[in-house]
Amino acid sequence: MIECVRKLAQAAKGDIKTLFEDDPARAEGFSVSCDGMLFDYSKTPIPPEGRRALLDWAEACGVASRRDAMFAGQAINETEGRAVLHTALRNLDGAPVLVEGRDVMPEIMGVLARMERFAADVRRGAFQGQGGAITDVVNIGIGGSHLGPEMATRALSPYHDGPRCHFVSNVDGADIADCLAGLDPETTLVIVASKSFATIETMTNAETARNWMAGAVKAPGAQFVALSTADDKVADFGIAPERVFGFADWVGGRYSMWGPIGLSIMIAIGPERFREMLKGAQAMDSHFRKAPLAENMPVLLALVGLWHHQGCGYPTRAVLPYDQRLGRLPAYFQQLEMESNGKRVNMAGEPLTVPSGPVVWGEPGTNGQHAFYQLIHQGTQVVPCEFMVAARGHEPDQAHHHVLLVANCLAQSEALMRGRSIEDARALMAEQGFTGKELERQAAHRVFPGNRPSTTLVYDKLTPHRLGQIVALYEHRVFVEGVMLGINSFDQWGVELGKVLAKEIEPVLESGDTTGKDGSTAQLVGFIRANRG
Ligand code: F6P
């Protein structure tokens, strides 16, 4: 199947523009709508027969049955022997979800209700710090226990009406030092977000925060909250059970912002808005479960990605939100995609015979335009671009800004596809008075090859509901890609080795004994020890 797609993709590297000429209804035919969002993938080189082949491949891989197995709580994370049920966290109508025969929904709804009571208490000042109402919340976590809350809190800043939220993730002491510098320990709430409650970065930062608080308040633990699956470790740290919000191990770290890990989002925007975000994700879940593959937005988004990555061999993809508040979305998608599908073996443990997931990167437009779009337009590597933009912004008095933003977004996808021919470049240079060899030389620099693929996701406005929908859309996209490549998208063994070696090197930095270390590591240790004062 993949070979067939690859052959079609290589054969179809022709002009995207001609696909529009061949089919005047291409834009409509190569777009899909879902609950107020439109995903347009017509500016890609995928011909109708290519899409058919992609859909056949999806069917042959059993995407639909694998999806149903995920929602049904089967242990599809086979290397960890776990179900994959982040979707249960947003199953707001509470319909039963069985894991090993037990309905997990009562517990999920119970924890959600506790979170809502706590968030409401913090927001209205019923839960107080030792110096009065909470003014600031510091979420300490890393990876999935950081990126989601940070991304969503920033994305939804127009809805903030709670205490200020801050995020600390890096073990670099600069991160927590800069964060705590302006805060009052008497009115700060610290959330320690860690599924394992064992991640060295998070636990080191949590201890630093506790020491900082202990210098100012009598009972520092009283202003700490834990979000974790590891009750015993949380108890050892000294956080009282009433401020512990737990979840099950079948919620993967990078899929966890819908439950307790999202507490900082809930405190920032309020429980009702948090529920709206969950409802948006739930709407996408329902679409993913019910829509036929050919009209299924996450499936089509995955197929477009596979066409470019597997079919055309483009190694990266850029996520380009034309929305300043989605500034952390590319980083969030980076973890989602690269930690999920950056694997070397298939589910059976056999080496992959195809490239694993692509490199994902990006920045909000229009900033990226003035930085790396040069390469996207004229570099020798093709980078498929995924644009996203809202029809309207949150700032009614800045409508003109928004028109410019949207115009730039649409212009980029048009420019990527259309390009500029050598003839047009020559004409441009001639207008400027160039002639002969110099005209040719100058014109060559102004040619845009065009025919560069992009997709565009448009929606009305970045509300909590829309954000939930967008994130769930990408979650399911990553899932579909993983199924079609035969990858387990829900483990992350590749992060282990570096953690183990960091533990080994820590004492080496103290002792200077580099026995057994390679020459480079020994040299670096020597330099650092000699220069750290
Ligand atoms: O190191 C990778 C990772 O395990 C991620 O998958 C996870 O999101 C992150 O670390 C944080 O883990 P925890 O929530 O257990 O602290």
pLDDT, tens digit only, all 533 positions of the chain: 788 888 888 887 678 999 999 999 999 999 999 999 999 999 999 999 999 999 999 999 999 999 999 999 999 999 999 999 999 999 999 899 999 999 999 999 999 999 999 999 999 999 999 999 999 999 999 999 999 999 999 999 999 999 999 999 999 999 999 999 999 999 999 999 999 999 999 999 999 999 999 999 999 999 999 999 999 999 999 999 999 999 999 999 999 999 999 999 999 999 999 999 999 999 999 999 999 999 999 999 999 999 999 999 999 999 999 999 999 999 999 999 999 999 999 999 999 999 999 999 999 999 999 999 999 999 999 999 999 999 999 998 899 999 999 999 999 999 999 999 999 999 999 999 999 999 999 999 999 999 999 999 999 999 999 999 999 999 999 999 999 999 999 999 999 999 889 999 999 999 999 999 999 999 999 999 999 98
Q: How far is CA 411 from CA 15, 382, 422, in A?
A: 18, 18, 20
Spatial distance between the Cα atoms of 107 and 153, rounded to a whole number of angstroms: 25
Buried b (16+ CB within 10 A) or exposed e, 441-472: ebbeeebbebbbbbbbbbbeebbbbbbbbbbb
Spatial distance between the Cα atoms of 524 and 279, rounded to a whole number of angstroms: 51
Which atom of ligand 1 is closest in space to residue 142's alpha carbon? 11
Q: Where are the beta strands (DSSP E) in 394-514?
A: 454-459
Spatial distance between the Cα atoms of 304 and 456, rounded to a whole number of angstroms: 12
| pLDDT given for residue 187 in this prediction | 98
Spatial distance between the Cα atoms of 387 and 17, rounded to a whole number of angstroms: 19
Which atom of ligand 1 is closest in space to residue 492's alpha carbon? 6
In the reported structure, the alpha carbon of residue 194 is separated from the centroid of ligand 1 by a whole-number distance in angstroms of 7
Q: Where are the beta strands (DSSP E) in 16-158?
A: 31-34, 37-40, 98-99, 102-103, 128-129, 132-133, 136-140
Spatial distance between the Cα atoms of 393 and 369, rounded to a whole number of angstroms: 20
| Both structure tokens of 164 | 């200020």
In the reported structure, the alpha carbon of residue 187 is separated from the centroid of ligand 1 by a whole-number distance in angstroms of 28
| pLDDT given for residue 13 in this prediction | 65
The HSE-up count of residue 236 (CA atoms within 13 Å, CB side) is 9
Start-to-end Cα distance in the chain: 60
| pLDDT given for residue 116 in this prediction | 98
In the reported structure, the alpha carbon of residue 198 is separated from the centroid of ligand 1 by a whole-number distance in angstroms of 9
| pLDDT given for residue 313 in this prediction | 94
Per DSSP, the residues of 325-340 read: GGTTHHHHHHIIIIIH
Residues with CB under 6 A from ligand 1: 142-145, 194-196, 199, 202, 253-254, 339, 492, 495
| pLDDT given for residue 530 in this prediction | 96
Spatial distance between the Cα atoms of 98 and 100, rounded to a whole number of angstroms: 6
Active site residues: 339, 370, 499
| pLDDT given for residue 290 in this prediction | 97
Q: What does residue 483 show for φ and ψ, rounded to 5 degrees?
A: -60, -45
- Which of 80, 82, 145 has most ligand 1 atoms within 8 Å of CB, for mutation? 145
